[in-house]
Structure 1
Amino acid sequence: MVISIALCPDESMLVSGNIDGEIQLWNTQEGNMVGKPWKAHRDVVRYLHWSPSAVEIVSGSHDGTIQQWNPYTGRETARPIATSHGWVSVVRYSPQGDRFASGGADKIIRVWSTGGELLIEIDGHDDWVLSLSWSSDATQMFSASSDSTIRKWQSSSGKELAILRGHTNSVNSLCLSPDESHLFNASKDCSVRIWDLKTNQAIGDPLLHDDQIFALTMSADGTYFASAGVDAKVYVWSLDAALKQQGGGVRMYIAVDDVFV
């Protein structure tokens, strides 16, 4: 069973992580698996992310480790990192690709060098850290948590810059608009919220699903975003309409057979 996927920056390859700890690389044009599965982790591969240069992939697992991979050979590029997270729920490269951040069950965000050195620990959430995003200059990070909050941090010092409150349940996923003026997040409380990052306030009414929402992504040009969850629907939203109509803005939705979370 596939638990996590990540698309290569040039969209030529896709990497997937399985419940049995294996990682597989796929050619997106042909739909074929490239090489053999990588014997990666001892438990679920919960999160995958490509480096900006596409020369490396990082994986985080419920076995508590982070591993780095050469996508062309399927071999590890460094020794596994024992994170102390317990379960690793998210790991993301900085836009410059010189470090990556991780979060998990122990409520702490950790920033690592690509050589595996722990650079900083950021402690502030009251529950699991589930999602992370970097600003384009990597000076700030945003985190989402099971404690129902989103937090903004200074990445070099770990100083907390803002707490965004409004959700009533776990915040499962977040992403920035391309111009970094807005932050989007999806929650177990069945809603997507949009935040103005100048004021750190929510904009308009929540955008609603019929059940818990676990996945959220933004188009490269920032004109639309998509959300998906337990109601087995993928909603595609117009950003402009969502901002203007305060709760409206559905462009379309796609019904799927099932969503595993």
Structure 2
Amino acid sequence: MSSQASDSEEQEVTPIEEMRGHTGAVLGVVHLPGGRRIVTCSRDGSLRVWDLESGTQIGEDWRDDEATTTGFYSIALSPNGKTVVTGSGDGKVRLWDVETGKVIQRWTGHTHIVMSVCWSASGDRVVSGSWDGTARVWNAKTGKRILKIKTRHESVWVVLYSPDDTRIATGGYKNVAQISGGSYEYAAKIWDAKTGKLIKTLEHDRIVYSLAWASDGKTLITGSFGLIKIFDTATWKQVATLEGHTNYVNAITLSHNNRLLASASYDNTARIWNLYTNFPVGPPLQHRDKLECAAFSANGRVLVTGCHDKNAYAWDVNALVKQAGLEDLLSTGDVSANTSSTLGH
């Protein structure tokens, strides 16, 4: 047996907790302030709060009587940690109070599944992306729609505010068969967040399912089929590609200091990447089924993944980087200066 195979066996990683209880695929997850609790959303039509240290559910399921037959496909936590927003199969965007677990607003307008939601950094706006081909910006206090972007994607899979709230990125595809004889347009697109004007189209070979923006705004990362691409937002040039996944990369998430990227794929694995070298940290995190979501804790030490097997899993990132001798990747210092010069290069 080769030493490489032996090393791989020695490094086999198992989750530190499994959150069991959902009766449908876990499609989204957020970490609540304090580092101990998470909220998951599922195709089973519920949101649930979990204790990360014990893996047990806290309280009752969160449900909306008006959404008994639809699943929740996306979730995002407000910057102040008090409210979550969800996107669902009935086309509605909902706000939930974290303390009570109750719906406090329902926003209507989308005509298909809301696959992605994102808060502005200021917390006063939410952007949602739907299979109806639009991205919509909402006033988080009043629920009034501020902007409707006709993205020219046939289906929007992901939306994301830039860290300074000036731009919105979308990912998706368009069937351009009538124009070009049967091909598709796969792209991430960058929009002016105030006017909805298209700024840039970043062409891809397959659908863009996931996005992540470095906290200094200088780097945008995309996930598509198998590949993760890194772009310099000053020039919009691609500066790196992360290879390893063999199926759709449905979620990517950055650590607080931009040094680690986690990706979750339909190939049944999550991977953690060192963005100084663009190489994986440790072996792939193996799951029993396809993955839909992933989120780092605020300090980057725990990764939670959501799976089609109806469970969520917590992984000890701290142990992984220690085993690899890369403890500095979890430093809490301000690394914005060197991140812009080294990330993705």
**CA displacement, residues 119-171 of structure 1 (integer Å, 9 cap, x when unaligned):** 11111x211100000111111101100x2100000123220100111111111
Greater radius of gyration (CA): 2
Q: Which residue of 1 aligns with 2:172?
A: 104
Q: Which residue of 2 aligns with 1:136?
A: 215
- In structure 2, the gaps of 5 or more residues are 1-69, 174-184, 325-345
CA distance in 2, matches of 1:215, 1:82: 26
Range that drifts further, 14-23 or 133-142? 14-23
CA distance in 2, matches of 1:100, 1:139: 14
Counterpart residue type for residue 148 of structure 1: G
Which has more helix, going by share of residues?
Answer: 2
Q: CA RMSD in A?
A: 1.3
1:92 aligns with 2:160: yes
- CA shift at 1:88, angstroms? 0.2
Q: Which residue of 2 aligns with 1:12?
A: 82
Q: Which residue of 2 aligns with 1:27?
A: 97
SS at match of 1:122: strand
TM-score by length of 1: 0.89
- CA shift at 1:245, angstroms? 4.3
SS at match of 1:11: coil
1:192 aligns with 2:293: no
Counterpart residue type for residue 124 of structure 2: V
1:127 aligns with 2:206: yes
- Tell me, yes or no, if the aligned pair for 2:281 and 2:320 is still in contact at 8 Å: no
- Name which of 213, 234, 240 aligns with 2:312: 234
The within-5 A match list for 1:1-261 is: 1=70, 2-35=72-105, 37-78=106-147, 80-105=148-173, 106-114=185-193, 115-123=195-203, 125-145=204-224, 147-245=225-323
The size of the alignment, in residue pairs, is 242
TM-score by length of 2: 0.68
SS at match of 2:267: coil
CA distance in 2, matches of 1:16, 1:151: 27
- In structure 1, the gaps of 5 or more residues are 247-261
**CA displacement, residues 191-232 of structure 1 (integer Å, 9 cap, x when unaligned):** 111111111112221111111111100001111111121122
Q: Which residue of 1 aligns with 2:329?
A: none
How high is the sequence identity, in percent, across the aligned residues? 37
Does 1 or 2 have the higher relative contact order (CA < 8 Å, sep 6+)?
2
- CA shift at 1:32, angstroms? 2.2
**CA displacement, residues 89-140 of structure 1 (integer Å, 9 cap, x when unaligned):** 00100111111111012421111111211111111x2111000001111111
Q: Which residue of 2 aligns with 1:254?
A: none
